[in-house]
Amino acid sequence: MGVEGKTYPPVTSTIEPDRVAAFARAIGADPAGGVPPTYAAVYSLGATAPQLFADPEAAVDFAKLLHADQEFEWDRHPESGETVTSQGRIVSDISRRGMRFLTFETRTTGEGGAGVCRSRTLFVIRA
Amino acid sequence: MKKAERAVTFTADQIAAYAEASGDRNPIHLDKEFARSVGLPGIIAHGMLQMGILATVASAAAGGGGRLRRLYCRFAGMVEPGDTVTFAAVEAGPGKLALTAVNQRGEAVLTKASAEYL
């Protein structure tokens, strides 16, 4: 489909200590134990997915959306208070038997542009 | 060889706390009537909440969350409040973990789950 390869503008966000602590408590991690690995759901995927969902060209029907799988790869884990930049891209968009399989990747970098995290998500949009 | 394990009984409060902290406030996680209107049995836990808990187990097995370099899972089953899911990590070679998440009925809710660490 037409949106394969589409890249969204980079989003800069700050890793907020209070939110990190609340996130850690919700998953049963030590709130004083640093940024939990899957806080990438906030600073990486969570920063860019709203752009995908709001994009009329991508036309994702949020009500029929399933998060089918998730991969994170880290070069390092960010520190609380750090500012990071995330950029989302539609890797592939395949329709099969009425279902749509959309692979969405987000690359997060730190100040200076060095890699922090790569998030790769398979969204399935039901018919 | 089992390296780490944790059993969690999910609650609506925990799911709401995760929604607030993560920013994923999809009403299927918060509003029972809405969830039923889209064909679900009631509210369900976020896949990312399950993966977050799985990551705490992987982190314990790896000797700290800061050591994790990769984490993958497939979201295979719904988790509702009251469900108890046992998350476990076993060694699968140097720097590799095989991960599982199985509910009280013996059904895998996360599949193909694995991690790599330094």
- Chain-chain contact of A46 with B24 (C-beta, under 8 angstroms): yes
* Residues, chain B: 118
CATH number of A11-125: 3.10.129.10
Where residue A36 falls (left for φ over 0; alpha for ψ -120 to 50; beta otherwise) is beta
Average pLDDT, chain B: 96
Q: Which CATH number fits domain B2-117: 3.90.226.10, 3.10.20.30, 3.10.129.10, 3.40.228.10?
A: 3.10.129.10
pTM: 0.96
| More confidently predicted of A2 and B17 | B17
| Each residue's pLDDT tens digit, B99-113 | 999 999 999 999 999
| Each residue's pLDDT tens digit, A19-78 | 999 999 999 999 999 999 999 999 999 999 999 999 999 999 988 899 999 999 999 999
Nearest to A41 by CA among A104, A124, A99: A104
- Per-residue pLDDT at B96 exceeds 60: yes
Instruction: State the nearest Cα–Cα gap between B27 and chain A, in angstroms.
Output: 10
- Mean pLDDT over A78-88 rounds to 97
Instruction: State the nearest Cα–Cα gap between B60 and chain A, in angstroms.
Output: 10
Domain ranges of chain B: 2-117
